[in-house]
Amino acid sequence: MALPAEAGGFVGVADVSPKRPLCFLLLGPPGAGKGTQSAIIARKTGVARISTGEMLRDAIARKTPLGEQAAPLMDHGNLVPDSLLVALIDERVTHPDCTNGLLLDGFPRTVRQAEALDQLVRDRGMELVVMNFDVPREVLLRRLSGRRWCPSCQATYHLESSPSKKEGVCDTCGSALIQRADDRENVVAKRLEAYEAQTIPVIEHYVKRVAVHRVDGYRDVSDVFAEILPFLQGEKAS
């Protein structure tokens, strides 16, 4: 996948695949529920889930060169450069699980990333389906301040809406839960600013090209999933 213009190089749903492999995008602000839904979708359908936030946090934990570059940017609520993200996706889509389709959570976040993805979608003959999560700002703030996260397996909880069975302990792997560094109040404000400045234009980019489906994300997790499922099954046209 090549970045457009001046920068350097990017895009089925497994057993729910309709005619062409899907490139299924979950867009929306921080805390909108993209990660929660993408984890459920991947579990229920087997589609290859690509969460750039998780991949970057994993790189940081492993202290890779990518992680070293990304950490200070993420800690301050800034985006990681397009060239690094496009290279990350480029490599990830070569894995065999991506043959039948992709579920992208957190990518693209800039117009340049979207343009690179457009090329990948064309090259692979994929069908692009775009879901845009809409959640009121005060709800986003509550969700992010109450989120707890497992640094070992990246499972996500919420102190009120989805607490772990044992307080402060991950249900899946037993590790101690923490608050993500970028969920601190001042960093959240910066992330929301970055979203408005750099990712709202991505939605505008797609509105001109394909149907963008608004998802009311301020509902129960299961209701949000029920709204998305028909699009994954190709029952609703994009």
Helix/strand/coil percentages in the chain, nearest 5: 45, 15, 40
Taking the C-alpha atoms of residue 98 and residue 102, their distance in angstroms, rounded to an integer, is 6
Give catalytic residues, as residue numbers: 34, 109, 147, 180, 191
Stretch that binds ligand AP5, among 123-131, 157-165, 170-178, 201-209 (CB under 6 A): 157-165
* Strand-pair category, 156-158 with 147-149: antiparallel
Nearest-CB residue to ligand AP5?
Answer: 53
Pick from 8, 205, 32, 22: which is nearest to 125 by CA? 22
| C-alpha radius of gyration, the chain, whole number | 17
Give residues 91-130 in contact with ligand AP5 (rule: CB under 6 A): 106-107, 109, 113
And the tokens for 83? Answer: 């060239």
Count of residues engaged in binding ligand AP5, rule: CB under 6 A? 35
Considering beta carbons, is residue 17 or 231 the nearer one to ligand AP5?
Answer: 231
The contact pattern for ligand AP5, residues 72-91, with x = CB under 6 A and - = no contact, is: -xx--xxxx----x------
Helix axes 82-92, 111-124, angle to 10 degrees: 20
Within 10 A of 165 (CB to CB), how many other CB atoms are there?
Answer: 8
Q: Which long-range contacts (CB under 8 A, 24 or more apart) does 162-165 make?
A: 162/221
Considering beta carbons, is residue 17 or 118 the nearer one to ligand AP5?
Answer: 118
Q: How far is the CB of 14 from ligand AP5 (least distance, A)?
A: 21
24 binds ligand AP5 (CB under 6 A): no
Stretch that binds ligand AP5, among 2-10, 15-23, 90-98, 216-224 (CB under 6 A): 216-224
Taking the C-alpha atoms of residue 157 and residue 150, their distance in angstroms, rounded to an integer, is 8
36 binds ligand AP5 (CB under 6 A): yes
Q: Which residues are at the interface with ligand AP5 (CB under 6 A)? A: 28, 30-36, 52-53, 56, 73-74, 77-80, 85, 106-107, 109, 113, 143, 147, 156-158, 161-162, 182, 191, 219-221, 224
